[in-house]
Structure 1
Amino acid sequence: MLVEEIMKTDVITLPPSATIAEALKMLQDHRIRHIPIVDEKMSVIGIVSDRDVRDASPSIFIKDSDQSELQNEIQTIMSHPVVTIHPMDFVEEIARIFYDEEFACLPVVRDNKIAGIVTEKDMLYKLIQLTGTHVQSSHIEIKVPHKPGILPEVAAVFGKRKVNIVSVLVYPFKNDPDYKILVFRIQTMNPLPVVQDLRNAGYELMWPNNIPGPKL
């Protein structure tokens, strides 16, 4: 999946000469947490978060606090240089950037101009979609040998029951390189018949691992 499929394109931006007060109003009005700072060519030169703005704003608990700080230019508090991504980057790869750098958002740039933005919330929602947990389905985990052709072999068991597969994930089995875990979400609220089929075919189920299938 590509970044252009999940990025938001209606990006709210500000020039570096905008004031902190303008940024504060924009964050509140649009209910956003980050504002990319762009130059006259729409190139990203910085980014400001709601935390940056709060830290630079006078405390609401101090009576008669100096409000003049809000008239400082936003470039005085923006973070730079900015890590950016491209619309044709893979979502799976930018997930690593979010994790390693602990970013909350990444501006998307095409031809040196801002084209969109991706937030950690966007990434989390896409994970929900990829795992199939956004639709009613049943969860099955199977321990299989790590060998070519094992995925279609197991999927054929579902096919015989004409059960629709919502999603498939593959992850390592502990530290054993000889095995993998296949995680299926199937579109049925009664997985017991296919669970029994899998057991009859000799597969080891990690989940459900304590529910006997029906006698057929």
Structure 2
Amino acid sequence: MCGRFAQAQTRETYLTCLGDGVDRDIAYDPQPIGRYNVAPGTNVLLLSERAGQLHLDPVFWGYAPGWWKKQPLINARVETAAASRMFKPLWQHGRAICFADGWFEWKKESDKKQPYFIHRADGQPIFMAAIGSTPFERGDNAQGFLIVTAAADAGLVDIHDRRPLVLSPEAACAWMRQDTGGKEAQDIAHCGAVPAGEFTWRPVNRAVGNIHNQGPEIIAPVT
């Protein structure tokens, strides 16, 4: 699953990794985003395509349509989202990308849960597949977005059995295109995913459990 992540660098750092040929309508901002401990129920910068250009909007992390009487959902499984009653419309017309530095997972060790920060071994940003209720620019706090998850494999299974669906930069751009159909999006999710071998992880301070803790020490390794 994905319940916390870091989105701390400048928006330019993330956008540059998508390539020079990407057309975007996003204001330049040299200030770091500085969110080392992003939690559900907050607004998160989300990339999506409108009218052939990429846009960046603060979107509520959580999804609860009017008939849903429970807490908002934050993840959708890649194995079932494209065909499910709840998520199919979002898969068809509400695909987006949530960029990040890495995500957190908790593993039970001894009598406590130890948080780990998982990130690309080469230090590059990650591009997590997301789906949500459009238009994203409306700022709806009930029907926001979800992060798409996949089954963990290789060493990542040691931390958690689910992980965010992280796409390569090329696949991320294709995922967001408005002319990409639902079936094609399934192919992108399958073929464009970054393999588990590209990631590494480290134990971090349990202070990440408190969403008010937002400094860089949150992702610093601990022994």
Which structure has the larger Rg over C-alpha atoms?
A: 1
Higher relative contact order (CA 8 A, sep 6+): 2
Q: Which has the higher helix share?
A: 1
Select the structure that is richer in strand.
2
Fold match by TM threshold 0.5: no
Please tell me the TM-score bracket, short chain as reference. under 0.3
Q: TM-score w.r.t. structure 1 length?
A: 0.26
